[in-house]
Amino acid sequence: MRRTVTIISIVLAFAFAFTATAQETSSADDPIANLKEQLAEIESTKTELRIRLEELDEELKPENIEIAVAGIGSTHPEELREHRRKLLTIERDGIQTQLDLLEEKRARIKAAIAAAEFAAYLKYALPSPTPSLATPLSKPMTQLMMLPDFGVQHVSLRTMFFAGSALLLASLLLLLRQLALTTPNRSRNRNR
């Protein structure tokens, strides 16, 4: 009987430890990390587009347009300069539009990060409607065991580790005590 209790205690200790570990790895930090990664990509793209925008502003200066079309022989150089100016202006306007869209996306992602962080805060700050380990006597233990998290949703990993360690230590002490009590009886039976 005691051996069965000891084995069940050890199995439960490991089950609770694995449940606590699974809770830690599936936390709300993953969506936040993904959003922050997207935000970093947007900032990188914005930096590249700003650099190209500065280059286009420099190329749009009249003296630089003149230099760019100087090597092209034409009877109408003013048309070439105007064509070059239009191309550069169209590209600059497109880049400015991309920057505006990226700024809007950046604002949406920042709002999503703030909402996710607030939701994560609320998840840990507010009490859970799920039953805790200390259930009222009106609920049978089988109902508690059918819950996906065994009723330990708000128990930290450290608490679970120490509780499991204490349970394991108590189980080992019971097992050692039982072995110590049965060993003298065996030696007495052999002497007879």
pLDDT tens for 27-37 read 455 888 999 99
Residue position matching structure tokens 């580790």: 161
Q: Is the pTM of this model over 0.85?
A: no
63 against 13, higher pLDDT: 63
Q: Give 138's DSSP letter.
A: T
Helices 29-59 and 62-69 pack at an angle, to 10 degrees, of 80
pLDDT surpasses 90 at 155 = no
- Say if residue 177's pLDDT is above 60: yes
Measured CA to CA in angstroms, residue 72 lies from 45, 76, 145 at distances of 34, 10, 83
Selected residue with higher pLDDT from 171 and 114:
114
pLDDT in tens, 49-79: 999 999 999 999 999 988 888 878 777 888 8
The shares of helix, strand and coil residues in the chain, as percent rounded to the nearest 5, are: 80, 0, 20
3-state SS class at 130: coil
**Dihedral-angle region of residue 139 (phi above 0 means left; psi in -120 to 50 means alpha; beta otherwise):** beta
In this model, does residue 25 exceed pLDDT 50?
A: no
Max Cα distance, the chain (Å): 127
Q: Where are the domains of the chain?
A: 2-141
Question: Which pLDDT does position 121 carry in this prediction?
Answer: 85
Q: 119-151: per-residue pLDDT in tens?
A: 888 888 776 665 555 545 555 545 544 555 444
Among residues 35, 56, 39, 57, the alpha carbon closest in space to that of 103 is found at 39
